[in-house]
Homo-oligomer: A and B are copies of this chain.
């Protein structure tokens, strides 16, 4: 009786499949170099304009900021509202739904901090 091999599947239980898919979904929505910075900034100071964000997020360019904001808005994580002020302005804010990412962001930050300490001492 030889051990049965080939095409073995450890993680192909429905539960694992769903979890893997869910993680891919999340990472896809939060992909790119700037999503977390933008979300983090909007969670702190809500109601920021385009130029505010350009100044807050060090290193980002207007093209990237514009694209990332569109991505986040299309996923309903942030809102974009045009205010008809004297020189028309736009305000970006985190949505209720965007705030549900807080535990995720917190875990990532917590792990990163712990990692630094474990490596450095």
Contact = CB atoms under 8 A, between A and B. Distances in A.
B109 A107 contact: no
Interface string A39-72: 0110011001000100110000000000000000
Interface in A79-121: 97, 100-101, 103-105, 107-116, 118
Sort chain A's interface into a size bin: 35 or more
A19 interface: yes
Given A48-B10, A52-B8, A108-B22, A115 B41 contact: no
A19 B109 contact: yes
B11 A44 contact: yes
Interface of A: 7-12, 16, 18-27, 29, 36-37, 40-41, 44-45, 48, 52, 55-56, 97, 100-101, 103-105, 107-116, 118
